[in-house]
A and B are shown apart, each in its own frame.
Chain A
Amino acid sequence: MYKILKAEELAANIYLMDVEAPRVAKYCLPGQFVIVKMDEKGERIPLTICDYDREKGTVTIVFQTVGASTKRMADLKAGDSFRDFTGPLGMPSELVEEKNFDKVKNEKVLFVAGGVGTAPVYPQVKWLHEHGIQADVIICAKTKDLLIIEDDMRKVGNVTIATDDGSAGLKGMGTDAVKELVNNQGNKYDRCVIIGPMIMMKFTAMLTKELNIPTIVSLNPIMVDGTGMCGACRVTVGGEVKFACVDGPEFDGHKVDFDQAMKRQQMYKTEEGRAMLKLQEGDTHHGGCGQCS
């Protein structure tokens, strides 16, 4: 069992938890992910690592409720436990790899974090900060109330906020904020890291391609085992089929086939939607919701 030391709701339907998992905390790096399973009947859910404390042996995860398992997970409190918590999985971010450090230390890096994607951006920015590199970070969300991890991020990076409705920071989407920093403020970047909803990564990567900024995205496709066994997470990158769990989760944002990736992400939409409705409404639910047949 893996004990939850802290659990808080960061924004509507977005939760943060510190979990005791010494084996994961010992060697994990920014960019990698874990798989959690809350109990016997829960799904295996891949979550990108949001922070870690090697001494305390804890790993921080952030998740949004999307299916039946995450909805049930949201009810867990400090003191409760996950039945299973495994990792670190996937490859660490290129930025934090030792062999790249000589190059990275002279780079100007821009992060674009969308919604719950702010969580996996944080450890990368923090890692760079700890190694003497100050990165620019755009945090974008639909509205002010959905911004997460803003205060912690400000401690480690130069933060720009953008909201779709203008309730905080710039009014506009991630792409508008990138244009502001690059075109209006005249910043030059050697690398851009985009993590957020698939559609946001697609359009932001299209923009950075126009701007000639090498770009990394972190994908969160459907997975089961997370070790290369099932192939559920296959994505096409530069015409080649890759498994996000072992080859990724980070890929060249200018080569990912986002349209296919988005279609694959919808695969269990109705299945998950059904399971969630069953959970919420119990016996009172009898179809007619558009999810049920």
Chain B
Amino acid sequence: MDVLKKVPVREQDPKERATNFEEVCLGYNDEEAKCEAERCLKCKNPQCVKGCPVAINIPEFIQKVQDGEIEEAYKIIGKSSALPAICGRVCPQESQCEGKCIRGIKGEPISIGKLERYVADWARENNIEPEKASELNGRKVAVIGSGPSGLTCAGDLAKLGYDVTIFEALHEAGGVLVYGIPEFRLPKQTVVKSEIENVKKLGVKIETNVIIGKSITIDQLLEDEGFDAVFIGSGAGLPRFMGIPGESANGVFSANEYLTRSNLMKAFDDEYDTPIVAGKKVAVVGGGNVAMDAARTALRLGAEVHVIYRRSESELPARAEEVHHAKEEGIIFDLLTNPTEILVDDNGWVKGIRCIKMELGEPDESGRRRPVEVKGSEFDIEVDTVIMSLGTSPNPLISSTTIGLDTDRRKCIVAEESTGKTSKEAVYAGGDAVTGAATVILAMEAGKAGAKGIHEYLSK
């Protein structure tokens, strides 16, 4: 075995998986996990922990994997993370824990994400349950949204003895984990549902179909329903469009709509009533993780898929692994290309997308080189479906109905990073509702901070 290289993880064959919604990555078995764990240098000053937003004691859990004490490893992770089976699958490890791994200086870093996933899956398969608080402290906390920040905050508070109720607007708990991230990357039944069950086993109640700001407001929760504090983890749900001609044509979707139909409503499965326009030739506009998810979903529904992105490959915001998987499956990348118009037929349906070639100019405020149009380089791509994946912004439903809750110019809720404290007493917030669209693990970090803030506030 070459200690400089990761133990390769088994995956479904690209040709085969391009036609199904089964999980792409198959994960490590016992032997592979042990081999990978043995590569860990067990650094005295572990950089990986610094790279982890929730500061999991990584060397310690890896040591337990090496020793074959998987239940112990699970408990170590559980001290810092309520959703390890999810994070092991969707965290951008290359820029976090694995990006800092000393082993990675010469050779490849430890596959920390795959080991975390292995431990969490093992715990699920062996029915290991998280430990519940020994007694309740009599204080009630409402958590708004059952996505990663809400689940984490609720789990942490329940462990401290709080009586926690999560309010979810949709009919299923999980937030972006169920409506956004596809089955082939994050299995809903086996992984997401069981992680949510674990949070419930801590004593957390989940009430679905309650839209805070419509069904009831935050002020009413505090005044009429007896909650002592509220955590807002409502995410960034509103899709952006480009504002180019033809965008309201039939066959133009936000990535949110396309993914919600497929993931939450299971439109890919004929047994379910919700329809989805599969498309024969699909253009996905954007280069983030959501764009990759939409592209790979359309591919599995039988389409030829083009990802249209205005910068070059090295600027693609999606995780390297997702881009790699998308390419393997046959997604076509039209880089340095930007749509200028959606072409529409007489019946109001998309018939093509007009694009212009781009080149990279001087760096902009984000530090990335700004794409500039190449004059006269317009060309048309014939497509019947366009999926806009240009990012999302927070839903104003909560901020506009809560008295005294400050937002910034992007409509994000203003909250302190280390505690989630907002401008309104007893109200804390975190995740995409505060930062704008980010990642699952950053939302979890904010959920943890919110739980800490609420605990401090209610312990006064």
Q: Are A227 and B211 in contact (CB under 8 A)?
A: yes
**A264-B248, A267-B250, A272-B275 given; A87·B348 CB < 8 A:** no
Q: How far is the CA of A150 from the CA of B277 in the complex (A)?
A: 39
Q: When each residue 174-202 of chain A gets 1 if its CB lies under 8 Å from chain B and 0 otherwise, what string results? A: 00000000000000000000000000000
Tally A residues with Cβ within 8 Å of B.
42
Q: When each residue 21-60 of chain A gets 1 if its CB lies under 8 Å from chain B and 0 otherwise, what string results? A: 0011011000000000100011110000000000000000
Interchain CB contact (< 8 A) of B273 among A41, A225, A264: A41
Check if B21 is an interface residue, CB within 8 A of chain A.
Answer: no
Q: Are A230 and B348 in contact (CB under 8 A)?
A: no
Check if B347 is an interface residue, CB within 8 A of chain A.
Answer: yes
Which A residues lie within 8 Å of B251 (CB)? 267
Q: Are B171 and A241 in contact (CB under 8 A)?
A: no
Q: Are B237 and A227 in contact (CB under 8 A)?
A: yes
Q: Are B265 and A84 in contact (CB under 8 A)?
A: no
Check if A266 is an interface residue, CB within 8 A of chain B.
Answer: yes
Which A residues lie within 8 Å of B347 (CB)? 263
Q: Are A224 and B257 in contact (CB under 8 A)?
A: yes
Interchain CB contact (< 8 A) of B237 among A67, A86, A229: A229
Q: When each residue 167-204 of chain B gets 1 if its CB lies under 8 Å from chain A and 0 otherwise, what string results? A: 00111000000010000000000000000000000000
Check if B374 is an interface residue, CB within 8 A of chain A.
Answer: no
Q: How far, in Å, is A83 (CB) from chain B's closest CB? A: 7
Q: How far is the CA of A42 from the CA of B208 in the complex (A)?
A: 16
Q: How far is the CA of A24 from the CA of B276 in the complex (A)?
A: 29
Residues of chain B from 251 to 295 with CB closer than 8 A to chain A in the complex: 251, 253-254, 256-257, 260-261, 265-266, 271-277
Q: How far is the CA of A45 from the CA of B237 in the complex (A)?
A: 20
Q: How far is the CA of A156 from the CA of B201 in the complex (A)?
A: 51
Q: Are A88 and B214 in contact (CB under 8 A)?
A: yes
**A37-B171, A85-B209 given; A69·B260 CB < 8 A:** no
Q: How far, in Å, is B306 (CB) from chain A's closest CB? A: 21
Q: How far, in Å, is B449 (CB) from chain A's closest CB? A: 25
Nearest A residue (CB) for B167: A23
Q: When each residue 250-276 of chain A gets 1 if its CB lies under 8 Å from chain B and 0 otherwise, what string results? A: 000000000010011011100110010
Q: When each residue 220-250 of chain A gets 1 if its CB lies under 8 Å from chain B and 0 otherwise, what string results? A: 0000110111111011100001000010000
Check if A68 is an interface residue, CB within 8 A of chain B.
Answer: yes
Which B residues lie within 8 Å of A68 (CB)? 273
Q: Are A69 and B273 in contact (CB under 8 A)?
A: yes
Check if B241 is an interface residue, CB within 8 A of chain A.
Answer: yes
Which B residues lie within 8 Å of A227 (CB)? 169, 211, 214, 237, 395, 397
Q: How far is the CA of A241 from the CA of B266 in the complex (A)?
A: 28
**A86-B215, A88-B214, A263-B250 given; A230·B265 CB < 8 A:** no
Q: How far, in Å, is A23 (CB) from chain B's closest CB? A: 5
Nearest A residue (CB) for B276: A271
Q: When each residue 343-367 of chain B gets 1 if its CB lies under 8 Å from chain A and 0 otherwise, what string results? A: 0000110000000000000000000
Q: How far is the CA of A72 from the CA of B274 in the complex (A)?
A: 13
Nearest B residue (CB) for A231: B254
Q: Are B256 and A24 in contact (CB under 8 A)?
A: no
Q: Are B257 and A232 in contact (CB under 8 A)?
A: yes
Q: How far is the CA of A88 from the CA of B274 in the complex (A)?
A: 22
Q: How far, in Å, is B277 (CB) from chain A's closest CB? A: 7
Which A residues lie within 8 Å of B78 (CB)? none
Residues of chain A from 101 to 151 with CB closer than 8 A to chain B in the complex: none
Which B residues lie within 8 Å of A83 (CB)? 171
Q: How far is the CA of A232 from the CA of B247 in the complex (A)?
A: 12
Interchain CB contact (< 8 A) of B248 among A72, A241, A246: A241
Given pairs A224-B274, A232-B253, 20 additional interface contacts (CB within 8 A) = A23-B209, A24-B215, A27-B215, A27-B216, A41-B266, A41-B273, A224-B260, A229-B238, A229-B256, A230-B239, A230-B254, A230-B260, A231-B239, A231-B257, A232-B257, A234-B241, A235-B248, A264-B348, A268-B277, A271-B276
- Closest 4 pairs between A and B when the two form their complex, measured CB to CB: A271-B275, A263-B348, A230-B257, A86-B209
